Amino acid sequence: MNLALIDTGPMVALFDTNELANKHYTTLLSQNWRLTTTWPCVVEVCHFLGANAVQRYLRWVSEGGVIVYPFDVSNLPEFAELMTRYTAPPRTEMDLADASLVWLAQDTNTIRVMTMDVRDFSRYRLPDGRSFDIL
């Protein structure tokens, strides 16, 4: 089984057939992936999808389509530190969802990530300097 983190964009694409990346991620998911994400990503997906798609998405999550990795409020300073590090000019801002995935990568030692946010995930690094393998 293949392990990967999954960001907001690919999950939106899976449940919005009008998204250009829908076919790419639908095909990719047919290859037996075990996906993990965080609550900030789940919330973002719900923000971007229409009501019917949100209902299908939440059922998919509840049926194990993706594992939602827990974190504690004690982890929030780590998220804030990442957001500070990757928001320094001239870089773009790192949002909470991205910070939570970078933290998750560190915590689980998983560097494969399904994301449409190639520019940002190409510059994010784990503490040991490793870069992400973007799918």
Q: Which of 52, 45, 43 is nearest to 25 (CA)?
A: 45
Q: In the CATH scheme, what architecture does the domain 2-134 have? A: 3-Layer(aba) Sandwich (3.40)
Per-residue pLDDT tens over the stretch 98-118 = 999 999 999 999 999 999 999
Tokens of 82: 């990442």
Where residue 58 falls among pLDDT bands split at 50, 70, 90? very high
What's the rounded Cα separation, in Å, for the pair 65 and 58?
9
Q: Which pLDDT does position 92 carry in this prediction?
A: 80
C-alpha distances in angstroms, 43 versus 38, 65, 78, 128?
Answer: 9, 16, 20, 29
The whole-number pLDDT of residue 95 equals 94
Phi–psi pair at 3, nearest 5 degrees: -110, 135
Spatial contact of 113 and 101, defined as CB atoms under 8 Å apart = yes
What residues does each domain of the chain span?
A: 2-134
Rounded distance between C-alpha atoms, residue 18 and residue 23, angstroms: 10
pTM, 2 dp:
0.93
> Where does the pLDDT of residue 91 fall: very low under 50, low under 70, confident under 90, or very high at 90 and above?
low
Task: Give whole-number Cα distances, 55 to 12, 58, 68, 105, 135, in Å.
Answer: 12, 5, 17, 28, 26
| 38-55: burial string, b at 16+ Cβ within 10 Å, e else | bebbbebbbebbeeebee
Q: Looking at the predicted structure, is the pLDDT value of residue 89 above 80?
A: no
